[in-house]
Amino acid sequence: MAKSKKKKPGLLTRQQIIKKYNITKKQIQAYFPKPAVIHARGRGGSWWTTEGWTEEAVEQAILHPEIQKLLKAREEQALRERQMNECMALFESFSPESYLERARTLHRMFVLHVGPTNSGKTYDAIEDLKTHTPGAYLGPLRLLALEMFDKLNDAGIPCSMLTGEESIPVEGAQVVASTIELCNFNTRYRTAVIDEAQLIADKGRGSAWLKAICLVDAEMVHICMAPEALPYIEGLIQSFGDPYNIVHHKRLSPLRYAGSCKGYGDFRPDDAIICFSRKSVLSTAAILEKHGFHASVIYGALPPEARRNEVRKYLDGENDIVVATDAIGLGISLPIKRVIFAETEKFDGKEFRPLTTAEVKQIGGRAGRFGLHEYGEVLALGDTPLIEEKLGRNVQAIRQACIGFPREVLAADYPLDVLLLAWERMPRAREFVRESMQDALILLRHFRKTIKPEDRELVYDLITCPVDTRSEELVIYWARCAGAIVKNKRVPAPAFGDETLQSCELQYKAYDIRHQLLRRVGIEDDCSEERQAICRRIAELMREDKGQYIRRCRVCGKELPIGSLFNVCARCWALREGGHLP
C-alpha cells in the first residue's frame, strides 16, 4: 500500500508555490531562501520528509523586485488577452451590412463593364461621363486620375483633380477625377466611373472599392473590371436591389505568346522590358543604352511627375524602348507592341515568389495598343514556361472583398494597439478579408517610443497615413512630423538631398508624407515647387550616364545579364561550387 505524503501545516511546497504564483522552479531557486526540511515519524515507525517554506517566507520572497516585475507582466498580459477577446467580440457587430443597408436607399443604375486590358471598357464609361455631368472618375492611381483630368479638360469638359498628393481645382468644374480613397460620399452625381474594380479583393486597399460601390451617390454608376471580378460584384449589386446591365468587352487587338527572347539582339523599338525591382530596371536600361537603345524607365518609387516625364519622352519618340516594373500594369497606356518578361519572380514584401496568373495577364495585356498595332505579343527572356502557361490560364474568380477597419470602434475604451491587434487576429470570414493594419501598428509602435498622445482619433489619422514602412528613413521622418503635429509645433521639412536617384525618391516621398499628414489636420501645405524641382533633378540624373547602375558580379565585377536573379555571375558561381573560390 502506497504511503501517504504528509506535510507540516503552514509549510508550502515548491509545487504549491508554482501553482499559486505561476513561477518556475528556476525562479524559486534564484529568488527564494533555502527551504526548510522537516523530518517526522509517522505511525508504524515510518519516516517522511517535507521540504518547503513557511507562508511568511513565501510572502517575503514574492516581494523580490524581479518576481514582482514578472507577476506584473503576466497580469498585464492576461489583461491584454482579455481585452483582445472583448475587442474581437466587438468587431463582430461591425459588418458590411451597414454599407448594404445604406446602398439599398440610394436608387442607382449600374453598368458593369467586363473585359481584359486594352478592351475599351474604361473608354466607353468615360464617354458616357462626358455627356452626363456632374460626375466623378474614381481610379487606383494618381497617374490614372491625371490622365482623365487631362483628357476631360482637353475635350472642353472642366475637370478638377484630387489625390492624396495634390488638389488641382478648375473653375466651373463639372467632373472630379480622383483616387478612389478620396471619393466624396456627400455629393450627388449624375455619373460615376469606378475603375479597376477587381482590386476590391486587395487586402491593402480593396476596402475603398467596396465602400465606393456601396455608397457612391450617382444616378448612373459605371464599374470597370477584369472578368474574374464579375461574379462577386454582380452578387453585390443584386443585394442592393438596383437594376444593372452587363457589357462584355473583347480585347481590341489580339494578344499572343511569341516565345522566348534570347538576348539583346532580339530587342526592338516599341518593346517593354519587365523587371521587378528598381535596381533591375535601372541596370537593364543602362545595358540597353550601351547597345544603342534610348530607354524610358518606369518603377513604383519614381515620383509621379517623373514617371509622366518618362512616358512623355517615349510618346514623343525621344526614347524608343520602355523598361518597367509591374507599375506599368495599371493606368499607363503606351504604344507598346511587345511585352518581354525579363524576370518571372517578384518580392512581395515577405519573399520571392513566381508571378501570378492575374499579374502576367495584367502586365502582358499592355502589349498591342489598338489602332497602332495589329496584335500584341508577350515573350519571356530565356527558356521559362511560366509566362506561356499563365498567359493561357483563366484567372480564378474573386470570392472575397476587403472590408476596412471600422473607425467607430475608436470610441471604445480599449488601447489603440489592442484594437488593431484584435482586428488582425479576427478569423477570416467567408465573403470578406479584413484590411491589413500591419503598417499602422508599425507606425504606432515607432510613435510611442517618443510620445504617447491622448487624442485617439488624431493618432489613428496619423498612423493610417500611407508610408513605406520598409524604409527606416521614411518611418523616422514620419515620426518626427507626427510628433510635431501632436505637440503643435512646426513640421520639419525633409532633408534627404538630391545627389542621387535614391535620395531624390526619398525626398519626394517625404514631401508627400508631410503633405498628407498636414492635410489630415486641416492644413493645406503647397510644396508643389519643391516636388517639381525634385522631378527636374531626377530628369537630369536620368540623362546622365546610366552605366553606374549596371549590376555586376560581386566577385569578378563582370556585367550581369538582364534578368539575372543573383549577384554572382555563372562562372564565379561554378567556381565557388567547385571549391575554387573562398
Rounded Cα distance, 503 and 512, in Å: 14
Same-domain status, 44 and 138: no
Most confident of 305-314, 330-339, 563-572: 305-314
- 329-358: average pLDDT: 84
398 Cβ neighbours under 8 A, 6+ residues apart: 198, 200, 201, 228, 229, 231, 232
Q: Which domain holds residue 274?
A: 255-397
Q: Lowest-pLDDT range, 8-12, 50-54, 365-369?
A: 8-12
Q: Are residues 207 and 111 in the same domain?
A: yes
Q: Is the pLDDT of residue 242 over 60?
A: yes
Pick 29 or 150 by higher pLDDT: 150
Distances (CA, A) of 395 to 198, 204, 303, 523: 11, 20, 31, 44
Q: What is the DSSP track for 20-32?
A: HH---HHHHHHHS
pLDDT > 60? residue 579: no
Average pLDDT value for residue range 518-537: 85
- Domain of 241, CATH number, reads 3.40.50.300
With H, G, I as helix, E, B as strand and everything else as coil, classify residue 321. Answer: strand
- Per the domain annotation, does 51 fall within a domain? yes
Same domain, 115 and 218: yes
Q: 309 Cβ partners below 8 Å, 6+ apart?
A: 535, 539
Helix (H) or strand (E) holding 144, with range, is: helix 142-154
Q: Are 366 and 322 in contact (CB under 8 A)?
A: no
Q: Is the CB of residue 527 less than 8 Å from the CB of residue 514?
A: yes
Total domain count for the chain? Answer: 4
- 327 part of a folded domain: yes
Q: Which segment, 35-44, 191-200, 442-451, 500-509, is predicted with the most confidence on average?
A: 191-200
Confidence of residue 441 (pLDDT cuts 50, 70, 90): very high
Give the model's pLDDT for residue 125: 96
Mean pLDDT of the chain: 86
Q: How far apart are CA 445 and CA 506, in angstroms?
A: 22
Highest mean pLDDT among 5-19, 136-150, 223-237, 431-445: 223-237
pLDDT the model gives residue 373? 72
The amino acid at 318: E
In this predicted structure, what is the pLDDT of residue 42? 62
What is the distance between the alpha carbons of residues 148 and 67, in angstroms, rounded to a whole number? 65
144 found inside a domain: yes
Amino acid at 9: P
Helix or strand run (H / E) with residue 69: helix 65-91
Share of the chain above pLDDT 70, in %: 93
Residue 505 has pLDDT above 80, yes or no: yes
pLDDT band per the 50, 70, 90 thresholds, residue 28: confident
Check whether residue 80 and residue 108 sit in a common domain.
no
129: which 3 cell numbers?
461621363
Closest CA to 341 of 413, 401, 261, 420: 261
Model pLDDT, residue 421: 92
What is the predicted pLDDT for the residue at 77?
Answer: 82
Residue 381 has pLDDT above 80, yes or no: yes
Question: What count of other Cβ atoms lies within 10 Å of the Cβ of residue 48?
Answer: 14
According to DSSP, the residues that pair with 255 across neighbouring strands are 376
Cα–Cα distance measured from residue 254 to residue 272, given in angstroms and rounded to the nearest whole number:
17
pLDDT band at 102 (very low <50, low <70, confident <90, very high): confident
* pLDDT band, residue 443 (cuts 50/70/90): very high
| Backbone phi and psi for residue 396, each to the nearest 5 degrees, phi listed first | -60, 135
Write a three-state SS string for 158-211.
CEEEECCCCEECCCCCCEEEEEHHHCCCCCCEEEEEECCHHHHHCCCCHHHHHH
Does 3 fall in a domain?
no
Give the dihedral sign, CA 276/363/258/285. Answer: negative
Average pLDDT over every residue of 439-455: 80
* Mean pLDDT computed over 217-223: 97
Pair (44, 175) in one structural domain: no
Mean predicted confidence (pLDDT) in 269-296: 89
What confidence category does residue 530 fall into, taking pLDDT thresholds of 50, 70 and 90?
confident
Mean pLDDT calculated for residue range 543-547: 74
User: How remote is the C-alpha of 32 from its chain's centroid?
Assistant: 51
* 124 inside domain: yes
> Of the candidates 307, 294, 388, which has an alpha carbon nearest to the alpha carbon of residue 340?
388
Q: Is the sign of the CA dihedral 541, 545, 551, 554 positive or negative?
A: negative
Sign of the dihedral through C-alpha 339, 345, 351, 357: positive
Residue 349 lies in a domain: yes
Please tell me the least confidently modeled range out of 1-15, 308-322, 401-415: 1-15
Q: Which residues contact 71 (CB under 8 A, 6 or more apart)?
A: 21, 23, 62
Residue with cell 484630387: 162
Confidence of residue 8 (pLDDT cuts 50, 70, 90): very low
Same domain, 80 and 151: no
Sign for the CA dihedral angle at 217, 218, 219, 220 comes to negative
Which pLDDT tens digit goes with each residue over 161-208? 998 777 889 999 999 999 999 999 999 999 999 999 999 998 888 999
Domain boundary among 248, 278, 300: 248
Closest CA to 451 of 484, 418, 419, 421: 484
**From CA 261, how far away is CA 174, in angstroms rounded?**
48
Task: Tell me whether residue 71 is in a domain.
Answer: yes
Average pLDDT over residues 278-288: 88
What is the percent of the chain where pLDDT is above 90?
A: 38
CA-to-CA distance for 175 and 158, rounded, in angstroms?
A: 7
Same domain, 101 and 205: yes
- Residue 231: pLDDT band with limits 50, 70, 90: very high
pLDDT at 46: 64
Q: Are residues 32 and 167 in the same domain?
A: no
Residues 139 and 103 in one domain: yes
Yes or no: say if 491 and 499 are a contact pair by the CB < 8 Å rule. Answer: no
pLDDT of residue 126: 96
Asked if the model's pLDDT at residue 234 lies above 60, the reply is yes
Q: Which of 297, 42, 303, 285 is nearest to 163 (CA)?
A: 303
Q: Is residue 206 part of a domain?
A: yes
Which pairs from 513-518 meet CB under 8 Å and 24+ separation?
Answer: 513/465, 513/467, 513/474, 513/477, 513/478, 513/481, 514/481, 515/165, 515/166, 516/164, 516/165, 516/465, 516/466, 517/462, 517/465, 517/478, 517/481, 517/482, 517/485, 517/491, 518/485, 518/491
Domain shared by 467 and 538, yes or no: yes
**Scanning the structure block, which residue is given the C-alpha cell 472642353?**
156
**218 phi/psi in degrees, rounded to 5:** -145, 150
Residues 67 and 104 grouped into a single domain? no
Whether the pLDDT of residue 453 is over 70: the answer is: no
Q: How many residues does the chain have?
A: 582
Please give the model's pTM, rounded to 2 decimal places: 0.78
Boundary (domain end) residue, out of 48, 76, 91:
91
Give yes or no for residue 420 having a pLDDT over 60.
Answer: yes
- Lay out the sheet containing 167-168: strands in order across: 167-168, 159-162, 175-179, 135-139, 189-194, 218-225, 109-114, 244-248
3 state DSSP class of 143: helix
Q: Are 160 and 169 in contact (CB under 8 A)?
A: yes
> Which carries the bigger pLDDT value, residue 70 or residue 372?
70
Judge if 337 and 448 occupy the same domain.
Answer: no
What pLDDT band is residue 514 in, cutting at 50, 70 and 90? Answer: very high
